[in-house]
Chains A and B, each alone.
Chain A
Amino acid sequence: MPSYIGQSIKRNEDPRLITGRGVFSDDVDVPGTLYAAFARSPHGHARIISIDTSAAKAAPGVEAVITGHDLQGVPPIPVGFAPPSAPAVPPNHVLPTQKVVYVGQAVAAVIARDPYQAQDAAQLIEVEYEPLAAVVDPLMALEPGSPQIYAEVPGNLGFTMSSGSNDVEAALKASDEVITLRVVNNRVAVVPLENRAIVAQYDAFDRGLTVTLGTQQPHGDRSAFGRIVGVPENRVRLYAHDVGGGFGAKGNVYPEEAVTALMAYRLRKAVRWSDSRSENLRTMTQGRAHLTEITLGVRRDGTFTALDTKVVADLGGVLAPVGAASVGSIMTMCCGPYKFPVARAAARAVYTNTAPTGPYRGAGRPEATYALERAVDEAARRLNMDPVELRKKNLIEPNQFPYTTPVGPVYDTGNYQAALEIGLKEVDYDHFRAEQRRLRAQGRYVGIGVTTFVEPAGALFWEFAEIRVDRSGKVTVYSGGGPTGQGHETILAQIAASELQVPVESIEVVHGDTGAVAMGVGSFGSRSTILGGSATLHAAQQVREKMRAVAAGMLEARVDDIQLDDGRFHVAGNPARGLDFGAIAGFSYFGVSPAQEPGISARESFQMNAVAYPFGTHICIAEVNPENGEITIQRYLGVDDCGTMINPMLVAGQLHGGFAQGFGEAMMEQVLYDSDGQLLTGSLMDYAVPKASQVPAIEFLHTVTPSPLDPLGAKGVGEAGCIASPPTLVNAVLDALAPLGVTHVDMPLTAPRVWAAIQAAKGGK
Chain B
Amino acid sequence: MYPASFAYHAPRSVEEAIALLAEHGDEAKLLAGGHSLLPTMKLRLAQPGHLIDLAGVAGLQGIREEGQRIVIGALTTHDELASSSLIRAKLTALAEAAAVVGDPQVRNRGTLGGSAAHADPNADEPVALVALEAVLVMVGPKGRREVPAVQFFEDIFTTALGADEVLTEIVVPVTSGKLASAYKKLPHPASGFVVVSCAAVLEGDGQRLQAARLGMGGLGGAPVRAAAAEARLAGQAPSEATLAAAAALVSEGTDPADDLYASAAYKRAVAQVYARQALTAAAERLRA
Judged by a CB distance under 8 angstroms, whether B191 is at the interface is yes
Judged by a CB distance under 8 angstroms, whether A668 is at the interface is yes
Give CA–CA (A681, B265) in the complex, Å. 22
Judged by a CB distance under 8 angstroms, whether A461 is at the interface is no
The number of residue pairs between A and B whose CB atoms lie closer than 8 Å in the complex comes to 59
Which residues on A sit within 8 Å (CB–CB) of B260? 672, 680-681, 686
Those of A748-765 within 8 Å (CB) of chain B:
750-752, 755-756, 759
Give CA–CA (A532, B265) in the complex, Å. 54
Q: Is the CB of A628 within 8 A of B4?
A: no
Q: Is the CB of B190 within 8 A of A689?
A: yes
Judged by a CB distance under 8 angstroms, whether A740 is at the interface is no
Judged by a CB distance under 8 angstroms, whether A508 is at the interface is no
The one of A118, A627, A685, A751 in contact with B191, judged by C-beta atoms closer than 8 angstroms, is A685
Q: Is the CB of A756 within 8 A of B191?
A: no
Q: Is the CB of B4 within 8 A of A752?
A: no
Q: Is the CB of A750 within 8 A of B189?
A: yes
Interface readout for B166-202 with A: 1 if CB under 8 Å, 0 if not?
0000000000000000000010111101000000000
Which residues on A sit within 8 Å (CB–CB) of B265? 756, 759
Give CA–CA (A751, B196) in the complex, Å. 13
Give CA–CA (A629, B260) in the complex, Å. 16
Which residues on B sit within 8 Å (CB–CB) of A684? 190
Judged by a CB distance under 8 angstroms, whether B263 is at the interface is yes
Judged by a CB distance under 8 angstroms, whether B145 is at the interface is no
Give CA–CA (A759, B273) in the complex, Å. 15
Q: Is the CB of A627 within 8 A of B4?
A: no
The one of B4, B42, B188, B270 in contact with A755, judged by C-beta atoms closer than 8 angstroms, is B270
Judged by a CB distance under 8 angstroms, whether A688 is at the interface is yes
Q: Is the CB of B273 within 8 A of A120?
A: no
Which residues on A sit within 8 Å (CB–CB) of B186? 628, 751
Judged by a CB distance under 8 angstroms, whether B262 is at the interface is yes
Interface readout for A627-656 with B: 1 if CB under 8 Å, 0 if not?
111000000000000000000000000000
Interface readout for B4-47 with A: 1 if CB under 8 Å, 0 if not?
11000000000000000000000000000000000000111000
- Closest B residue to A685 using CB positions: B191
Judged by a CB distance under 8 angstroms, whether B157 is at the interface is no
Interface readout for A666-689 with B: 1 if CB under 8 Å, 0 if not?
001000100000001101111111
Give CA–CA (A629, B196) in the complex, Å. 14
Judged by a CB distance under 8 angstroms, whether A384 is at the interface is no
Give CA–CA (A182, B44) in the complex, Å. 41
Q: Is the CB of B266 within 8 A of A752?
A: yes
Q: Is the CB of B273 within 8 A of A688?
A: no
User: How far, in Å, is B101 (CB) from chain A's closest CB?
Assistant: 14
Q: Is the CB of B190 within 8 A of A685?
A: yes
Interface of B is mostly: loop
Contact residue range for chain B?
Answer: 20 to 34
Given contacts A115-B2, A681-B260, contact A687 B43 (CB under 8 A): no
Judged by a CB distance under 8 angstroms, whether B241 is at the interface is no
Judged by a CB distance under 8 angstroms, whether A472 is at the interface is no
The one of B2, B4, B190, B270 in contact with A687, judged by C-beta atoms closer than 8 angstroms, is B190
Which residues on B sit within 8 Å (CB–CB) of A751? 186, 270
Give CA–CA (A759, B4) in the complex, Å. 48
User: How far, in Å, is A67 (CB) from chain B's closest CB?
Assistant: 21
Give CA–CA (A680, B265) in the complex, Å. 21
Judged by a CB distance under 8 angstroms, whether B269 is at the interface is yes
Judged by a CB distance under 8 angstroms, whether A50 is at the interface is no
Q: Is the CB of A120 within 8 A of B189?
A: no
Interface readout for A534-546 with B: 1 if CB under 8 Å, 0 if not?
0000000000000
Which residues on B sit within 8 Å (CB–CB) of A685? 190-191, 193
Q: Is the CB of A688 within 8 A of B190?
A: yes
The one of B4, B43, B261, B270 in contact with A120, judged by C-beta atoms closer than 8 angstroms, is B4
Given contacts A686-B190, A687-B190, A755-B269, contact A750 B261 (CB under 8 A): yes
Q: Is the CB of A752 within 8 A of B190?
A: no
Q: Is the CB of B273 within 8 A of A628?
A: yes
Judged by a CB distance under 8 angstroms, whether A165 is at the interface is no
Q: Is the CB of B2 within 8 A of A116?
A: yes
Judged by a CB distance under 8 angstroms, whether B58 is at the interface is no
Judged by a CB distance under 8 angstroms, whether B1 is at the interface is yes
User: How far, in Å, is A193 (CB) from chain B's closest CB?
Assistant: 15
Give CA–CA (A627, B276) in the complex, Å. 12
Give CA–CA (A755, B263) in the complex, Å. 10
Which residues on A sit within 8 Å (CB–CB) of B273? 627-628
Q: Is the CB of A688 within 8 A of B270?
A: no
User: How far, in Å, is B138 (CB) from chain A's closest CB?
Assistant: 28
Judged by a CB distance under 8 angstroms, whether A98 is at the interface is no
Those of B255-272 within 8 Å (CB) of chain A:
260-263, 265-266, 269-270
Which residues on A sit within 8 Å (CB–CB) of B263? 752, 756
Q: Is the CB of B43 within 8 A of A278?
A: yes
Give CA–CA (A686, B260) in the complex, Å. 8
Given contacts A685-B190, A688-B190, A750-B261, contact A276 B270 (CB under 8 A): no
Give CA–CA (A687, B43) in the complex, Å. 16
- Closest A residue to B193 using CB positions: A685
Q: Is the CB of A688 within 8 A of B266?
A: no
User: How far, in Å, is A244 (CB) from chain B's closest CB?
Assistant: 16
The one of B44, B262, B266 in contact with A123, judged by C-beta atoms closer than 8 angstroms, is B44
Give CA–CA (A681, B188) in the complex, Å. 13
Judged by a CB distance under 8 angstroms, whether A694 is at the interface is yes
Q: Is the CB of A627 within 8 A of B270?
A: yes
Judged by a CB distance under 8 angstroms, whether A523 is at the interface is no
- Closest B residue to A683 using CB positions: B43
- Closest B residue to A116 using CB positions: B2
- Closest B residue to A668 using CB positions: B189
- Closest B residue to A686 using CB positions: B190
Which residues on B sit within 8 Å (CB–CB) of A278? 43
- Closest B residue to A274 using CB positions: B1
- Closest A residue to B1 using CB positions: A276
- Closest A residue to B262 using CB positions: A752
List residues of B whose CB falls within 8 A of some A CB. 1-5, 42-44, 186, 188-191, 193, 260-263, 265-266, 269-270, 273
List residues of A whose CB falls within 8 A of some B CB. 115-116, 118-120, 123, 276, 278, 627-629, 668, 672, 680-681, 683-689, 694, 750-752, 755-756, 759
Please name the 4 residue pairs, one residue from A and one from B, whose CB atoms are nearest each other, closest first.
A688-B190, A276-B1, A688-B189, A752-B262
Sample (22) of A-B pairs whose CB atoms are under 8 Å apart? A116-B5, A118-B2, A119-B44, A120-B4, A120-B5, A123-B4, A278-B43, A680-B260, A681-B260, A685-B193, A686-B191, A686-B260, A687-B190, A689-B190, A694-B189, A750-B189, A750-B261, A751-B186, A752-B263, A756-B263, A756-B265, A759-B265
5 additional A-B residue pairs with CB within 8 Å, beyond A116-B5, A628-B186, A694-B189: A116-B3, A118-B2, A119-B44, A668-B189, A668-B190
